[in-house]
Amino acid sequence: MMRLLLFVFVFLSASSWAQPTNQLIILTTFTRESLQPVLDAFQQYYPDVSFSVLHRRETSGLHLLNQDNHDIDVVLSSSLSLFSTLEEQQRLLPLETLNFDSTSQQQRFMQHTINNVVIFGYSGLGLMWNQDYLDKHHLTRPERWEDLTAPEYFRHLVMSSPARSGTTHVMVENLLQRYGWKRGWQIILQIGGNLAAVSARSYGVSDSITRGLAGIGLTIDSHAFSRQKHFPYIGFTYQPHSPLLPGYVAAVRNTNQALHSVALIRFLLSEEVQKKLAQDTLNKYALNQTLSQPLDITPINLTQMQQRTILIKLLFEQIVNQQLLRLNQAWQLIHEVRSLPLLTMAETRQLNLAVKLASTPPITESQAEDPILLEALSLNRQDISTLHHINQWRQLMTSQLDQAIAICEQLIASKEHRQVHDEKA
């Protein structure tokens, strides 16, 4: 009898736990403030619904979603990797009733799509700047990311890190895929040498530029447009030959399933939301809208990007973010040596060596394609194999930058000594 009562109690309790709820728990890499107008409008149709918004970066978001007992109902993000594992594990709710055309979306945005993941809007990648800052420091307005390697931008730049921002990850991949491993990292490391800071958040880039802490940043149009509404000195231009960055949304299965998960996605695709998407705080282009500036769209090879995602994130952290002061010093000295008059052939060879040391990553392209290495890496900070590799990369990059600094200092000292000797003579 006791067993029967216990069974009934457990059954009834489990049934009560599994009851649908009016609370929608949303995981997003967007800020709550940017989502709030859409949520408020949705609540006009469903006044009984309430929201809990969890703002997370991509890595911590993935960690949360990988927990079996999570209670997340909807995921909103520009990071496709947040949805990949959920789709593989068949943890996404079906969205056939929405009647959206995934094939059309794939053609429109030239992006890989996942079953039951919807694109509701899109952004473009490019450069944001503070015109007042440029005028104050007599800086030329750049047209593309590659321009930022010029000496005039020394410590006037800001960007985030691929490990902290899915958007920045796409930017770095865009350069690597367009120029190849060797030339791509040369550009990234030279831009790194001109950075004033690496922002902890992708929207921290737009904040720094607006506040005049830096003049120019690599970011998405959404962040720039939100600032332009209040600050007329903010400018933005799209990066040529870059991909569009869709905003994705999906509904997730869980024990306490929310009643209105799919309804929220349907609302995001509605004409009411789409016609105001660019003016709302999300600042995204609607699905049928065109970019305000002409742009040659170049798609990202998502297969390649996903294969080396962890590698790129870890490598950037060790050779750019963790080396920022050395990168600054090395490239400041390289710029100074380049401005010296009448370098001898031997001095030019030394300068070229310094440039090579300061712009070469500590692993080659073939090493970066090694499946054994890619499999051995993890974003878990306690992973022994990963720690071994990142320590090795950091030490090698430190050594290369120290050598570049020493070479340049010697060249400058030699020139100064020769100048003093000539003046005495």
CATH of the domain at 261: 3.40.190.10
Q: 315 and 361 in contact (C-beta within 8 Å)?
A: yes
The rounded mean pLDDT for the chain is 88
* Lowest-pLDDT choice from 216-225, 242-251, 283-292: 283-292
Does residue 3 form part of some domain? Answer: no
Strand partners, 109: none
Q: What is the pLDDT of residue 255?
A: 80
- Of 103 and 184, which is predicted with more confidence? 184
Instruction: Single out the residue of 36, 104, 117, 44 nearest to residue 74, CA to CA.
Output: 117
pTM for the structure as a whole: 0.87
What residues have CB less than 8 Å from 353, skipping those under 6 apart? 404, 407
Residue 392 and residue 261 share a domain: no
What residues have CB less than 8 Å from 110, skipping those under 6 apart? 243, 244, 297, 299
Does residue 361 form part of some domain? Answer: yes
Q: What is the pLDDT of residue 424?
A: 58
What residues have CB less than 8 Å from 233, skipping those under 6 apart? 130, 131, 132
Residue 270 and residue 347 share a domain: no
By CB atoms closer than 10 A (0-12, 13-18, 19+), residue 140 is exposed
The percentage of the chain sitting over the pLDDT mark of 70, rounded to a whole number, equals 89
What residues have CB less than 8 Å from 30, skipping those under 6 apart? 55, 76, 77, 78, 247, 282
Residue 423 and residue 358 share a domain: yes
Give the domain range for residue 342.
308-425
Does residue 63 form part of some domain? Answer: yes
* Lowest-pLDDT choice from 135-149, 289-303, 336-350: 289-303
Residue 333 and residue 264 share a domain: no
Number of domains in the chain: 2
Pairing relation of β-strands 216-220 and 118-130? antiparallel
User: What value does the mean pLDDT take over residues 187-199?
Assistant: 97
Structure tokens at 217: 């940043």
pLDDT (tens digit per residue) in 314-358: 999 999 999 999 999 999 999 999 999 889 999 999 999 999 999
Please report, for residues 21, 26, 51, 147, 325, the alpha-carbon distance to residue 48 in angstroms, rounded to integers and kept in the order given. 10, 16, 10, 52, 53
Q: 170 and 329 in contact (C-beta within 8 Å)?
A: no
Q: What is the pLDDT of residue 9?
A: 41
Does residue 11 form part of some domain? Answer: no
Does residue 230 form part of some domain? Answer: no
Residue 409 and residue 333 share a domain: yes
Domain boundary among 230, 252, 274: 274
Backbone angles phi, psi at 218, to 5 degrees: -90, 120
Structure tokens at 389: 């590799």
User: What value does the mean pLDDT take over residues 45-72?
Assistant: 87
